[in-house]
Structure 1
C-alpha cells in the first residue's frame, strides 16, 4: 500500500519498479529499510485448507527477531540528509535506538512519522479522533483515504 499512498499524495501513477525509480530520482528521495536481515517468528493462525496446522509467519513489526540493521545513521551523516520519514512509530523508535551518537537529536535532521501503510494499522487509525471526524463528515470513506490526506499534508512542500 505504500506506493499507492505515495502515488495518490503526489498525484502520479507508480505501478512499476521503473516508475518508483523515476519518482524517487525526480523528487531527490532516497529510500531504504532499517533492517538488513531478520527472521519472522512463527505465529498461530486460524486453520485453513492451505495451512491446516495453524502455523504461519507473523507480519507485524513485533514478529521480527534476529534483526541485523543497516548503518542508516552513517548514511544520514555522509549524505547530509535533513529529513527522514519513518513508516511507523516503531520504525522511528528503532532508528533512534540505532542513533548511539545522538546525531538525530543534536543536528538539523528532522524525523517525521508517516501513517503506517500496514493494513494492521487501520485499527489504530480507526480510533483517532481526527479520522472519526473526517469519516463522519464524509471527507474520507476509509483509513486509506485518511492516510492519503495525511501524506499530502506531510509532503506538501514536495508536491
Structure 2
C-alpha cells in the first residue's frame, strides 16, 4: 500500500515536501562524503604526527651520541656527533614545519567541511519545518 495514494492533492505541500527531500538528500550525501574525507584527513594527521615524532627521536639519539663521544674524549668523534646532532635538528625543523603547515591545511579543510555540513543541516531542517508548518494549518491550504 502506497501511503501517498490516499493523500489529498496539494501542490504547495508537494512542493514543500520535494524541497525538504532534496535538502535532506543533499545533506546526507555531503555528510557521507565528509565522513570519508575526515577519515582520510585523520589518517594523514596521524602520519604527520608520527613523522615529526620520529624526527624528534633522532635528535634525542644524536644527543646520546654526543654524550658518549664526550665521555670517550675523542675530539673527532665529538665533532662528528655534534655535526650529526646539528643535521638531526635541521631535519626536525624542516619536517616539523612541513607537518605543521600540512596539519593546518587539514584543520582548515575539516573546518570548511563542518561549516558546510552545518549549513546543509540547517537547510534540511528549515525545509522540514516548512512542511510541518504547512501541515499545521490545513484550513489555509487548498484541498
Structure-1-length-normalised TM-score: 0.19
- Whose RCO is larger (CA < 8 A, sep 6+)? 2
Structure-2-length-normalised TM-score: 0.20
Larger-Rg structure? 2
